[in-house]
Structure 1
Amino acid sequence: MPDATPALLMYAAADVARVAGDHALRHFRSALAVETKGDGSPVTVADRGAEEAARGWLAARFPHDGILGEEFGTTRPDAARRWILDPIDGTKTFVRGVPLWGTLVACVAGDEVLAGAAYFPAVGEMVCAAPGEGCWWNGARARASDVASLGAATVLTTDPKFSHRPDRRDAWRALEDAALLSRSWADAYGYLLVATGRAEAMVDPIMGDWDSAPLLPILEEAGGTFTSWDGRRTAFGGDAVATNGALAEAVRRTLHGT
């Protein structure tokens, strides 16, 4: 579908996220063997099966597009348009029986994200977006909060120990000290909470492309911001800071101690 509209790509991203997420859900809270990948992260048959389901769906409908998936790498790397898949974002959460894991899907052309979707099947939440098409949460328009004081904000992260980037641990502590509330167990669910007005900021010190690519249009179309830690508007920065619109500068100043 070379001339697919932004709306069609948004709905396609949501559909493929649902296919993969529902496949993973069938394994949730079951006895699974957990393997450790080369980067130290866990993987299960649920991750691999969910990505295979997503790849099959895309091959049938977008046969000329490329695919980058966390578990099976790159297909058709020279394609003008590609799909980026994270079949289970939050595998550590998944294997512990906590329902805040999700499936992430982005459609991109170069560094431009054409559409993104994040599906959380264990809690029944879907959010999807495309530039100019809005951000949609279970069929209703999603909007970030209008909280304008960091002292009234809820801030989130995945790992408060910042195990992968201990050099940024003090930055997180400064942010949570300035905020009203701080919470973890977040993974991609934290970005959903910001996009839907239930939290004001979510930060991660390290992100893969499959973690971050869907999130930029979701946050921006909801009225929020999504950048790298150094403030660049990018879906491929290797880390992430998401905020509502009102607190973008305050969050970044706090993280950088300025």
Structure 2
Amino acid sequence: MTENDIALAHRLADASAAAIRPFFRARFTMEAKADASPVTQADRASEAAMRAILSQQRPHDGIIGEEYGVERPDAERVWVLDPIDGTRSFVAGRPTFGTLIALMEAGRPVLGVINQPIANERWIGAKDRPTMLNGVATRTRPCATLAGAHLATTGPLHFTEEEKPRFDALGTAARDILWGGDCYNYALLASGHLDLVVEAGLKLYDLAALVPVVEGAGGRMCDWQGAPLTSESDGRVLAAGDPGLVEAALRVLAA
């Protein structure tokens, strides 16, 4: 990773934010994504804007995208572009969008960017910039006790019958639970607005981008057994801004 890579990642984040901004005030009533929905249009506009920049600036690098499949899977350097929408919050009239960007070299994440342009009508990010680069935090709110923790999740529906009671126990022990989107949750975790995230069902390349963001902010990320994330983790993720909070959560999940 070079300074040029970092500058390019910021440029991609800015292009993504510019592409999705016209959709902030859109309104629709369906939860399901459809080709005509503003959520899908914003996703595609965002990825297309970033893909055009990469294709011009780094034609030999690989690209993984949510809408457009995989390009150059054998490439040594691969960019991950994953616009993540806030479908449910859109329906509720609170538009939230985000873009997750990563650079992998030889399959190893070396750069992670989460671009969260808007969250409940508030900009988050250092100096009014919505990009969080490798976990650079806008503020920190250390929390090492579950009783005071703000917990977030996207996926109880993805938990197995055996996992759901364990998550419920963790949710009961925490101060409150936020139901958000992948990018939304991790942007708020990296910025210090959240303390703990428990996930199920994330894609492996999502994890590749999120690990450096969370760990760069001084937090810890692992699977539900406390082990490092691998393809065998099956998307079961536990992340916290304070490493001590991970240990506390693991004890509840193991009970």
Structure 1: stretches of 5+ with no match in the other structure: none
User: Which segment drifts farther, 118-127 or 99-108?
Assistant: 118-127
C-alpha displacement at 1:111, in angstroms?
3.2
Residues 176, 31 of structure 1: alpha-carbon distance in 2 compared, 3 angstrom cutoff: closer
Distance (whole Å) between structure 1 residues aligned to residue 99 and residue 175 of structure 2: 29
Question: Hey, what does 2:81 align to over in structure 1?
Answer: 85
8 A Cα contact 2:116 2:183, kept in partner: no
Question: Hey, what does 2:43 align to over in structure 1?
Answer: 47
**Pick from 145, 158, 163: which aligns with 2:157?**
163
Distance (whole Å) between structure 1 residues aligned to residue 196 and residue 147 of structure 2: 12
8 A Cα contact 1:143 1:223, kept in partner: no
1:72-103: CA deviation from partner (whole Å, max 9, x where unpaired): 11011111010111123434434554233311
Any idea what SS the aligned residue of 1:246 has? helix
Residues 93, 155 of structure 1: alpha-carbon distance in 2 compared, 3 angstrom cutoff: same
List structure 1 segments (4+ residues) > 6 angstroms apart after TM superposition: none
Bigger RCO of structures 1 and 2 (CA < 8 A, at least 6 apart): 1
8 A Cα contact 2:27 2:90, kept in partner: no
Percent identity, aligned pairs only?
34
Question: Hey, what does 2:70 align to over in structure 1?
Answer: 74
8 A Cα contact 1:88 1:101, kept in partner: yes
Residues 156, 224 of structure 1: alpha-carbon distance in 2 compared, 3 angstrom cutoff: same
Distance (whole Å) between structure 2 residues aligned to residue 31 and residue 115 of structure 1: 34
- 1:106-117 pair list within 5 angstroms: 106-117=102-113
Distance (whole Å) between structure 2 residues aligned to residue 97 and residue 72 of structure 1: 28
1:54-89: CA deviation from partner (whole Å, max 9, x where unpaired): 100111111110001111110111110101111234
Greater fraction helix = 2
Residues 214, 250 of structure 1: alpha-carbon distance in 2 compared, 3 angstrom cutoff: same
How many residues in Structure 1 have an aligned counterpart in Structure 2?
239
Structure 2: stretches of 5+ with no match in the other structure: 125-129
C-alpha displacement at 1:186, in angstroms?
4.3
RMSD: 2.6
Question: Hey, what does 2:127 align to over in structure 1?
Answer: none
Letter in 1 for 2:5: L
TM-score (norm 1): 0.81
TM-score (norm 2): 0.82
Question: Hey, what does 2:55 align to over in structure 1?
Answer: 59
Residues 146, 174 of structure 1: alpha-carbon distance in 2 compared, 3 angstrom cutoff: same
